[in-house]
Homo-oligomer: A and B are copies of this chain.
Amino acid sequence: MNASEFRRRGKEMVDYVADYLEGIEKRQVFPDVDPGYLRRLIPTTAPQEPETFEDIIKDVEKIIMPGVTHWHSPYFFAYFPTASSYPAMLADMLCGAIGCIGFSWAASPACTELETVMMDWLGKMLQLPEAFLAGEAGEGGGVIQGTASEATLVALLAARTKVTRRLQAASPELTQAAVMEKLVAYASDQAHSSVERAGLIGGVRLKAIPSDEKFAMRASALQEALERDKAAGLIPFFVVATLGTTSCCSFDNLLEVGPICHEEGLWLHVDAAYAGSAFICPEFRHLLNGVERTDLTGAFRLDPVYLRHSHQDSGLITDYRHWQLPLGRRFRSLKMWFVFRMYGVKGLQAYIRKHVQLSHAFEALVRQDTRFEICAEVTLGLVCFRLKGSNQLNEALLESINSAKRIHLVPCSLRDQFVLRFAICSRTVELAHVQEAWEHIQEMAAKVLRAPGEGTAEMQNAWLRKEERRKKKSNGFI
C-alpha cells in the first residue's frame, strides 16, 4: 500500500470508525458468539499473496464485530470505563505515524520531553505537592506506565531494592534472599488482584489488611498487622493504598495510612487506577488528601534506583526506560496533549461530573425500589447494588440481565455477598440510557422473583456456576 492508497483507505477507515461510534448504540452490547467462533470463519494459514483492503474491511463486519464486546456502547456498564475520545484517536494516528521507540531521550527527544511536561500538567491538575513535579529543575516528575498493574509492580520493585540496600548497608553479611524472605508488603483486602500478583512476581509476602465496614483500610488494622509482623521478625516495607477499589470504589484512609508509613519508613504506593482522574475536580480532590501530609517517595516519582544500571539521569534528560519494566515505549503523551487541550480542564471536569451525576441518578432509582439495596457508598461513577435476598437470587438476576444482552454488567463479591456492579462507562451515556437500563433491570428482577425459588434445579445450577466463577475470581470483579 502506498501513500496515495493510504490517503483513500485511511479516510474510509475514519468514516468507518465514525459510523461505528455513531451507531454503537444500535449494536448488541455483548456478543452472541460461542468460544471458538472465530477460528471457523477464517483460513488456517496466512495468505501467500496479498489481499485487498476491501476484502479485509468486509471481514471486519463479518468476523470481528460479531465477537466484540462494545466497551463504548452507552449500554455497557461493566468493569470500569476505558478512556476513549476522538482527540485521543487523532493523537494515536500521529503516534503511529511517528512510530518512534522512546526508550531514551535521544531516541526521540520530543517523546520524552512532552511526557515530562504532560505529567506535570496532570500533576498540577491533581494539585499534587510540588515535589511530585519535574518542573524546570527536574526534581520530581511522572511517567506513563502501560497499565496500573505495571505501576504497582514497578513501585514494589523499587521499594524492595531500597529496603534491601538499606539493610545490607547496615549488615553487609545479609544476602538478598535473606532479606526478601522477611519482607512484607500490605494492601487492603479490597485491593486489586494485580497487587497480589506484584508480590508474587517480586517474591515477597503480601498481606491483606482487613478493611472496615466501608471497605476502607484504616490505621488500626494496618498498625496491628505491622506490630504483629515486626514482633515475628518480619520486615514491613511497602503499603499499597487503593483510592477507588475495583469491587466497590471504596477509599483507603490515606490521612491515617500515610503518617504510619512515614513513621515506619514504609514505601507508600497509591493505586488510583479508576478514581485518580476524578481528583482533577476540586470537589473530589479531598479523597487524595494525605498525599500532602506524608512524605512518600512513591506513587508518581518512582525511584528508579532499581531499574537503573549505571545510568544517571541529568536534571533535564530523563531516560524513561529506567522508570518502567519494558525497554520500548510509544509516544503516548501525544494523547494526553491532544485530550487536555481539546477538552480543556473544564471539559474534563464536566465529563467526570456527568458520570458521577449519572451514577447518583441510578443510585436514587435503586433506593426507590424496596426490593433492592445499595451495598457500598456511591462516591464516583460506580453503584454496587443487589436484590435483598440470597446470593443465588442475585446470581440469577445477573444471569438473566446478561443473557438478555440489552445491557452488560459484571458482579463482584463484597464480604461473601454476590453484588451487581453498575459502572458508568461510556463517553456517550445519558440519563435516558441509565433509566432504560434500570427499567430493564427491574423487569428482569420481577421475572427472577416470580421464578421457582431456591432449591430448584435451575437455581442449583446457577449456584454451581457461581461457585465455579467464584473460584475463578482473579480481580475485583468476579
Query: Are A344 and B50 within 8 A (Cβ)?
Result: yes
Residue of B nearest to A161 (CB): B200
- Please judge, given known A-B contacts A89-B93, A177-B177, whether A39 and B113 are in contact too, CB under 8 Å: yes
List 22 A-B pairs, Cβ < 8 Å. A1-B85, A2-B86, A3-B22, A16-B97, A21-B97, A35-B105, A35-B316, A47-B345, A52-B342, A56-B342, A64-B98, A64-B334, A69-B106, A69-B108, A82-B99, A92-B96, A147-B327, A149-B327, A149-B328, A178-B181, A193-B309, A200-B306
- Asked if A459 CB lies within 8 Å of chain B CBs, one says no
Interface residues of A in 154-181 (CB under 8 A from B): 157, 175-178, 180-181
Residue among B18, B60, B117, B472 making CB contact with A6, cutoff 8 Å: B18
Residue of B nearest to A309 (CB): B474
- Asked if A298 CB lies within 8 Å of chain B CBs, one says no
Whole-angstrom distance from the CB of A458 to the nearest CB of chain B?
Answer: 22
Interface residues of A (CB under 8 A from B): 1-7, 9-11, 13-18, 20-22, 31, 33, 35-39, 42, 44-53, 55-56, 60, 63-72, 79, 82, 84-90, 92-94, 96-101, 105-111, 113-114, 116-117, 120-122, 124-125, 136, 146-150, 153, 157, 175-178, 180-181, 192-194, 196-197, 200-203, 306-307, 309-312, 314, 316-317, 321-322, 325-328, 334, 337-338, 340-347, 471-475
Residue among B7, B64, B87, B342 making CB contact with A114, cutoff 8 Å: B64
Whole-angstrom distance from the CB of A229 to the nearest CB of chain B?
Answer: 16
SS class of chain A's interface: helix, strand, loop or mixed?
helix
Residue among B20, B93, B98, B117 making CB contact with A38, cutoff 8 Å: B117
Residue among B113, B175, B176, B325 making CB contact with A67, cutoff 8 Å: B113
Query: Are A180 and B203 within 8 A (Cβ)?
Result: yes
Query: Are A89 and B79 within 8 A (Cβ)?
Result: no
- Please judge, given known A-B contacts A35-B314, A90-B10, A344-B50, whether A99 and B117 are in contact too, CB under 8 Å: no
CA distance A306 to B110 in the complex (A): 38
Find chain B residues with CB under 8 A from A473 CB.
309-310
Query: Are B325 and A153 within 8 A (Cβ)?
Result: yes
Find chain B residues with CB under 8 A from A100 CB.
68-69, 71, 82
CA distance A51 to B147 in the complex (A): 28
Query: Are A337 and B56 within 8 A (Cβ)?
Result: yes
